[in-house]
Structure 1
């Protein structure tokens, strides 16, 4: 089979040998490729040639031609030719040897395997970076809420009282029962635990102070906020997220309305109104739960209980109640922000709903810890 021009590389197929002739370079690559494909088609196995191969007639060879030769003969046959032939010029032998080794073991990127401590540090860094990015986004969203609130307050015609009242009903009145029940039970548990510890010191009477301080300062607002974060913040995210997925928010913008003013402000203001009320309910229910335990288990009469309760300083109640608006604003902002971050799928709604609850509870506990340190340093 003789193909090609006088100088272009070609295959001279003889009965007992295969002569490779001419220039095997990139300039003649398409023609050489056609010859090799045709030769393989005519032979039963192009890589298992049973005849001798003569490379002495090659005039010029580059990497493209060397790759074609190895594709024609195969890696093993070319290796055997290089080892058995002594008339191949050193430069050409080095080129063919390099190409054989490269094609025998294709270059693959090495997998960088990090040690477990480094993997843990890398993952921790990614989480910290994501947390910082989330806090920056939340800070910007809070600024947007405050600016919209100031603009709206100066224009009474734009107040949405119907939406505000509806949100107060949903977030406040419907949650009173669960908040009262949970804080009542927790108050009973705190009284039991306090009595168990104080009984060994003969000071069970101080169980009253323990229940009063814990619910007036911490448990009343904390339990109400956590319940509201799981019950209401998730609802905010799901509602706004569903509207985002259904492109209703885009329709609101198309009508020239502000989604923050229409959807966020009523929810934020509703929680600002309802959480202090729920906190007060939680304080009363927790103290009543502790009073019931003192009355039935510790032989502390109701008169003794409420007499000791009167001696508790009022500022503990004010400290606990003052944290409610701050917690309310943050959990409402987080819930609405996660709703706006929803993409277009139901899975995204579920993921951001879960994220809003986790972030809200984390933020509440963090703020409560900071507030506890602040009030302790201030002597309040």
Structure 2
């Protein structure tokens, strides 16, 4: 049975709610509520003695008519409604109050800026904390595996060396050769104003032995190899292959991370040496063609003015950069969730983090070596 349709009648500053407020009468009740809410505020006194049956649809209309605050006050008043009706009206009023109150941001731009800075700082702290933990896990696994030759993964190690070292050799040599030529051009242009173009040789050799050789090779590997590590391990994570390895009792860090880290630590010093030689060849070509400095004179100046320690300073940074690049690439791969979009996001993140860490550590190392007089 449909029952008596509900109504809302205002008499002498009192709003009387009568009849059944149920889904069966929703259309007529909706019209009453719309008309009444358009007339202004609800009177201070609400009489519910004539209320019949009440369901969720009717309760939502009552909350719309009275407002969430007044509806909760009425629902909490003893004796006004039946217990079940009071509980229903209370629940609907609380739900609609949460939904109807939009979050208004009243913070000043300075507060918003400081809050954003704090969030980014916390995010950076968590990232460094997780990276430190993964580095510790990698080192622990490495020191556990090295004394046991039976657990060495020779095949993936050699394959990773070919991928990270041999295949990257042409692009590293070409890039450093061109950068060496550019540095020689710039040096010759500036030094010509002082009649000291002969020192272009020192500029090229010094910069590539200490900084450019290892830095360019590391940045290239950060963009080329760290992204590959992340994509490979991320694809395995999406396909649940890493979970399968753990189910078989195998250590994913030992199988996937250690061979890549060791291969990078072998490849990057070699690429750094190639970059140093190629950069000085590019600078030597410019000196021979533009400055009339013969290759023999170029080599004689390098042998006379540059000490071995400059080469050792540059080459000593290569294993550290290689370790960080490989670890960051592998860590971002393990952080991939189950979607292709996540693979792309973490691949981008691994490249950005690797390049940032390489440049940061290189600048710190440059300051340290300068203060030590090395």
Corresponding residue number in structure 2 for 1:365? 359
**TM alignment of 1:74-223, pairs within 5 A:** 108-109=101-102, 111-223=104-216
Q: CA deviation at 1:377?
A: 1.0
Cα 1:157–1:33 change in 2 (3 A) is farther
- State the distance in 1 between where 2:163 and 2:23 align: 76
Corresponding residue number in structure 1 for 2:255? 262
CA contact (8 A) 2:173 2:278 kept: yes
Cα RMSD, aligned residues only: 3.5
CA contact (8 A) 1:225 1:275 kept: yes
**TM alignment of 1:229-378, pairs within 5 A:** 229-311=222-304, 312-378=306-372
Q: CA deviation at 1:321?
A: 0.2
Corresponding residue number in structure 1 for 2:20? 34
Cα 1:142–1:44 change in 2 (3 A) is closer
SS state at 2:307 partner: coil
CA contact (8 A) 2:7 2:29 kept: no
Corresponding residue number in structure 2 for 1:83? none
SS state at 1:34 partner: strand
CA contact (8 A) 1:11 1:19 kept: no
- State the distance in 1 between where 2:175 and 2:325 align: 20
SS state at 1:113 partner: coil
CA contact (8 A) 2:6 2:29 kept: no
Cα 1:326–1:110 change in 2 (3 A) is closer
CA contact (8 A) 1:39 1:46 kept: no
Q: CA deviation at 1:123?
A: 1.8
- State the distance in 1 between where 2:349 and 2:262 align: 22
- State the distance in 1 between where 2:21 and 2:320 align: 80
CA contact (8 A) 2:208 2:280 kept: yes
- State the distance in 2 between where 1:234 and 1:39 align: 63
Q: CA deviation at 1:113?
A: 3.2
Cα 1:291–1:34 change in 2 (3 A) is same
- State the distance in 2 between where 1:40 and 1:162 align: 73
Range with greater deviation from structure 2 (225-234 or 122-131): 122-131
Cα 1:192–1:33 change in 2 (3 A) is farther
User: In the TM superposition, what whole-angstrom CA distance separates every residue of 1:29-62 from its partner, at most 9, and x where no partner exists?
Assistant: 9xx551688888789964669xxxxxxxx99769
Unaligned runs of 5+ in 1: 5-9, 50-57, 76-102
In the alignment of these two chains, the number of paired residues is 322
- State the distance in 1 between where 2:220 and 2:6 align: 83
Structure of higher CA gyration radius: 1
User: In the TM superposition, what whole-angstrom CA distance separates every residue of 1:151-201 from its partner, at most 9, and x where no partner exists?
Assistant: 101211001111111110111000110000000000000000000100000
Cα 1:251–1:302 change in 2 (3 A) is same
Cα 1:217–1:39 change in 2 (3 A) is closer
SS state at 2:107 partner: coil
Q: CA deviation at 1:108?
A: 2.8
Cα 1:34–1:182 change in 2 (3 A) is same
Corresponding residue number in structure 2 for 1:81? none
Q: CA deviation at 1:289?
A: 0.3
Which contiguous aligned blocks of 4+ residues in structure 1 show a shift greater than 6 angstroms?
10-13, 17-20, 35-44, 58-62
- Normalized against structure 1, the TM-score is what? 0.76
- State the distance in 2 between where 1:40 and 1:128 align: 53
